Structure 1
Amino acid sequence: MRKFLRNLTNIILISILIFSGYKIYTKLSEYKKADKVYTEIREKSKKSNKDEELSSSNPDYRFWLKVDNTNIDYPVVQGADNDYYLTHDFNKDYLASGSIFMDYRNDFENDKSIIIYGHHMRNKTMFGELANFKDKSFFNENNKIEIEYKGKTYTYEVFSVYIADSSEEFLEMNFSNDNEYEDYLNKIIDKSLFKTNISVTSEDKIITLYTCSYEFNGARTIVNAKLTSIN
């Protein structure tokens, strides 16, 4: 009986090791695939006709996003819903890390509040390094976000970072009037982990970068920035 139990235990342990090894291999393979896909796209982005090149590869392409002093340097797409690009790359192939994508309801040129989503990957790719903004010194010193859209650079300054529960209704993009928008801005400023001297009013346009967080089940990290210049 003891020998049987010992053998059974060994089988269980070996099975666990094999399963764990498979999971690690699968995850590393996914990371490698994502790196290859987005490295190739970054090479395309260096061409003089970047917008034309990327739009021809994927009509869902909207603009390019970069965040200072992070590895966030990605094309942003927009699907027919907010589900598809959670699990599909820029080429519309299945990829667990998905894409960086703008809310399907947004109009970049006209909306005052733009929302952009991305996974927080364990290897710090996609929106993984948004977590850096939860460090006070990084928040204060590295606050520029750039969007390249139709040959122009839109520069934003971060004014808020906070952690929210995914079950909360806290993201808004459409407002009936300036007072409603002002209330929303004040709400996200009040939520921020840190305070800044950056003034944000109903005249400003903002972007929101949204990703998973790991403080508790369903946690999300939200970074807000206001448009300061277009060149």
Structure 2
Amino acid sequence: MQKSIWVLLLTKLLFLQIIYFGVQEIEQRKDVVVPEKKAQVAVPQQMASSTDFRSETDSSEEAAVPLEELTFTINPSAEYYQMNPDYVGWLSVNGTVIDYPVVRGQDNEMYLSNNFYREPDIFGAIFMDYRNIGMGIDRHTIIYGHYTQYGQMFGELDKFLNEDFLKENLEFTFSDGYGQRRYRIFSVHVAPADTSFLDIDFEGNEYTDFLAMLKNLSVFPSDVAVTEENNILTLMTCNDSAENGRLFIHAVEVTE
């Protein structure tokens, strides 16, 4: 009986060791499973109708556009939509390895443990909050990613806790099938996981108060202007400097 107990204990110990070293091996993996980034080709604006083109010499004469001069450029996002219909855009953050496609699931659980191709993966994927619409419509867009020990995914967001780095890399971009948008960081802070930082619906003066709260929480003072007329985007990942901590990076869409 005693021998059986020892065999059982040793078996459990071996099983735990296998799990531990398996996780360690995965965590040390350097590659992230994502599609190759395609060049962001600007899609030409739709040619205006003939009634919009006037001759410089005779404003009453309509200028015809020869058919052979019309061009069509394939939207670079089309291929990603074909790979995964959950694709919503591409996030690029200066000064970091963050240059990844962004997906959006039917909840905020799916892509915690599945990669861009919907395959089980401890790295998960970079994903947008399922409550967001995307396409630059949301007043507050939220994008999540895992913190990793070796910097993959959102592992390098903690670089923004260095004020000099923040000043040198104040802007990042998010591109989708409708164009590329620039964002300028106005607040960086660490806090315990709190859903109050993740609100997306606001009434009355709630949005103005929300923006003021985010700016006041920043670990560094910021002169980046943000008003209720602006849309913002938040990047969030884990951070162990607080119990059940999260790192929040809030940025305002640049419209000028």
Structures share a fold, TM > 0.5?
yes
Asked if the contact 1:146/1:154 (under 8 Å) is kept, the reply is yes
Identify the residue that residue 42 of structure 1 maps to in structure 2. 36
1:198 aligns with 2:224: yes
* Structure 1 residues not aligned, in runs of 5+: 1-7
Q: Which one of 93, 108, 118 corresponds to residue 67 of structure 1? A: 93
* Structure 2 residues not aligned, in runs of 5+: 1-5, 42-74
Identify the residue that residue 240 of structure 2 maps to in structure 1. 214
Identify the residue that residue 28 of structure 1 maps to in structure 2. 25
Give the drift of 1:50: 2.7
Asked if the contact 2:189/2:218 (under 8 Å) is kept, the reply is yes
When residues 210 and 228 of structure 1 are mapped into structure 2, their CA distance, relative to the original with a 3 A threshold, is same
1:163 aligns with 2:190: yes
How many residues are treated as equivalent by the alignment?
A: 213
Give the drift of 1:36: 5.2
When residues 220 and 36 of structure 1 are mapped into structure 2, their CA distance, relative to the original with a 3 A threshold, is closer
Asked if the contact 1:60/1:77 (under 8 Å) is kept, the reply is yes
Hey, which of these two has a bigger chunk of helix by percent? 1
Alignment partners' CA distance in 1, 2:113 and 2:139 = 28
Identify the residue that residue 253 of structure 2 maps to in structure 1. 227
Asked if the contact 2:188/2:219 (under 8 Å) is kept, the reply is yes
TM-score by length of 2: 0.76
Greater gyration radius: 2
SS of the equivalent of 1:104 reads: coil
Alignment partners' CA distance in 2, 1:164 and 1:149 = 30
SS of the equivalent of 1:209 reads: strand
Q: Which one of 185, 192, 196 corresponds to residue 211 of structure 2? A: 185
Identify the residue that residue 94 of structure 1 maps to in structure 2. 120
Q: Which one of 53, 63, 67 corresponds to residue 79 of structure 2? A: 53
Asked if the contact 1:79/1:85 (under 8 Å) is kept, the reply is yes
Asked if the contact 1:30/1:95 (under 8 Å) is kept, the reply is no
Q: Deviations over 1:89-135 (max 9, x none)?
A: 00001001100000000012321110111100111110111101111
Alignment partners' CA distance in 2, 1:154 and 1:61 = 16
Alignment partners' CA distance in 2, 1:60 and 1:171 = 21
Asked if the contact 2:26/2:122 (under 8 Å) is kept, the reply is no
SS of the equivalent of 2:236 reads: strand
Letter in 1 for 2:210: Y
1:80 aligns with 2:74: no
Letter in 1 for 2:156: E
TM-score by length of 1: 0.84
Asked if the contact 2:89/2:101 (under 8 Å) is kept, the reply is yes
Asked if the contact 1:167/1:218 (under 8 Å) is kept, the reply is no
SS of the equivalent of 1:203 reads: coil
SS of the equivalent of 1:211 reads: strand
SS of the equivalent of 2:101 reads: strand
SS of the equivalent of 1:176 reads: coil
Asked if the contact 2:87/2:103 (under 8 Å) is kept, the reply is yes
Asked if the contact 1:160/1:225 (under 8 Å) is kept, the reply is yes
C-alpha RMSD of the superposition = 2.4
Give the drift of 1:160: 0.4
Asked if the contact 1:58/1:90 (under 8 Å) is kept, the reply is yes
Alignment partners' CA distance in 2, 1:211 and 1:27 = 20
SS of the equivalent of 2:31 reads: helix
Asked if the contact 2:237/2:248 (under 8 Å) is kept, the reply is yes
